C-alpha cells in the first residue's frame, strides 16, 4: 500500500470530498448511508471538514500529492459520552487493500487517547467486507442484529 497516505481531514478538503463522493458507485453509497444519496450536503461537508479532532474525528486516505491529491477513503467518528459512532467509505478500486483496517486502527488510537471506551457502528448485514474488518481488528467485538442491520460494538479497553 505504498503511496497511500492517511491524514486528518482539513478545511480545504471540501472539494476533494465532493469529488471522492461522486466517484463512489451507488452500491457503496447505499452500504455507507443506508440510502442512495446524490450528493453530500453543505452541512455534512462542514461537519466533517471542521471537526475538533477529539469529539469528532475524520481521517482520509489519499493518493497523489499537492494539487493532485485524491481522497480514496474516509473514516470518522462522532463521540456521544464514552462511546463514538464510526463510519467508513472506501472507493471501489481500493477496496480489499486494508485501507479501512488502517483507518480503524488510527481512529481507535485517537479515540482511546481522548477517553472513548468503545466504537459503535450500524452495518448492513450484507456488508460482509466491513464486518470482516471489524472482526479482524484485534478489538473485542459484540454484535446484535435487527432487521438486516448489525450493530457492532468494538471495545477499546
Segment 91-120 shows an average pLDDT of 96
Q: Inform me whether the pLDDT recorded for 84 exceeds 60.
A: yes
Q: Inform me whether the pLDDT recorded for 44 exceeds 70.
A: yes
Q: Residue 117 in contact with residue 89, Cβ under 8 Å?
A: no
Q: Tell me the helix, strand and coil percentages in the chain, rounded to 5.
A: 35, 35, 30
* CA–CA gap between residue 46 and residue 11 (Å, rounded): 8
CATH at residue 145 = 3.40.630.30
Q: Where does the pLDDT of residue 2 fall: very low under 50, low under 70, confident under 90, or very high at 90 and above?
A: low
Owning domain of residue 81: 5-155
Look at strands 140-146 and 149-155 and give their pairing.
Answer: antiparallel
Total tally of structural domains belonging to the chain: 1
Q: In this predicted structure, what is the pLDDT of residue 149?
A: 96
Set of cell numbers at residue 141: 467485538
Q: Residue 118 in contact with residue 156, Cβ under 8 Å?
A: yes
Q: What is the 3-state secondary structure (H, E, C) of 41-66?
A: CHHHHHHHHCCCCCCEEEEEEEECCH
Nearest CA-CA partner of 155 in 118, 111, 110, 113: 118
Instruction: Report CA torsion sign: 64, 12, 14, 104.
Output: positive
Give the residue ranges of DSSP H helices in 38-154. Answer: 42-49, 99-113, 128-135
Q: pTM for this one?
A: 0.92
Q: Where does the pLDDT of residue 19 fall: very low under 50, low under 70, confident under 90, or very high at 90 and above?
A: very high
Amino acid at each position: 500500500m505504498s503511496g497511500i497516505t492517511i491524514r486528518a481531514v482539513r478545511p480545504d478538503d471540501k472539494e476533494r470530498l465532493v469529488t471522492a463522493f461522486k466517484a463512489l458507485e451507488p452500491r457503496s453509497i447505499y452500504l455507507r448511508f443506508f440510502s442512495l444519496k446524490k450528493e453530500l450536503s453543505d452541512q455534512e461537508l462542514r461537519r466533517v471538514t471542521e471537526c475538533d479532532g477529539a469529539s469528532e474525528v475524520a481521517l482520509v486516505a489519499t493518493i497523489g500529492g499537492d494539487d493532485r491529491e485524491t481522497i480514496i477513503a474516509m473514516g470518522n467518528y462522532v463521540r456521544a459520552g464514552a462511546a463514538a459512532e464510526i463510519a467508513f467509505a472506501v472507493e471501489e478500486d481500493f477496496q480489499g487493500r486494508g485501507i479501512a483496517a488502517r483507518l480503524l486502527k488510527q481512529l481507535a488510537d485517537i479515540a482511546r487517547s481522548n477517553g472513548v471506551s468503545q466504537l459503535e457502528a450500524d452495518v448492513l448485514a450484507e456488508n460482509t467486507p466491513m464486518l470482516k474488518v471489524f472482526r479482524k481488528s484485534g478489538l473485542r467485538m459484540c454484535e446484535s442484529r435487527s432487521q438486516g442491520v448489525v450493530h457492532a460494538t468494538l471495545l477499546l479497553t
